[in-house]
């Protein structure tokens, strides 16, 4: 499987806004892609990538290129379009992002998900993310991956 993480640009931003999760997933991924694009214009350090599989847009990911005050780099959003879920795109894209972040000096990578989003929890666990605590913060379970 060939996956590319391409910057969101003038050429693809509108196509990214058409990405959607399944209707039953809206409660676990409530913010549409257009929200993340808008927020990235006002939050310093948000990086956006469109996830492509052989030139087909299949998903979207947001990450922070700069660490927070505790030295953590965050992944605020990962989504695969409703028509492309279950094909391994999310896992492959996350592996690529983890490698990219490690190459750029990231030591601690954080991601959150709704507690009832068991699919996301399983995906993140399979990639080595462990629960940072049992506490739910802003409606999310926070997971941590330590990079070498």
Q: What is the pTM of this model?
A: 0.92
SS3 70: coil
Chain Cα centroid distance, residue 41: 17
The band of 83, judged by pLDDT with boundaries at 50, 70 and 90, is very high
Q: How far apart are CA 35 and CA 43, in angstroms?
A: 12
The winner for highest mean pLDDT among 28-37, 65-74, 129-138 is 65-74
CATH number of 3-146: 3.40.630.30
Q: At 70, is the pLDDT very low, low, confident or very high (cuts 50, 70, 90)?
A: very high
Where do the domains of the chain lie? Answer: 3-146
- Which is it for strands 72-75 and 108-113: parallel, antiparallel or unpaired? parallel
């Amino acid at each position: 499987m060939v996956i590319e993480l391409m910057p969101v640009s003038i050429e693809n931003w509108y196509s990214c806004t058409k990405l959607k999760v399944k209707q039953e997933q809206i409660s676990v991924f409530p913010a549409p892609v257009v929200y993340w694009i808008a927020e990235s214009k006002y939050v310093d350090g948000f990086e956006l990538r469109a996830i492509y599989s052989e030139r087909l847009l299949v998903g979207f990911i947001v990450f922070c290129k700069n660490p927070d005050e505790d030295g953590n780099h965050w992944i605020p959003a990962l989504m695969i379009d409703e028509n492309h879920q279950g094909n391994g795109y999310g896992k492959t894209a996350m592996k690529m992002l983890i490698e990219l972040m490690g190459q750029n000096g990231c030591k601690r990578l954080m991601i959150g998900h709704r507690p009832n989003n068991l699919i996301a929890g399983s995906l993140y666990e399979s990639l080595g993310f462990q629960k940072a605590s049992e506490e739910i913060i802003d409606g999310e379970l926070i997971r941590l991956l330590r990079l070498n």
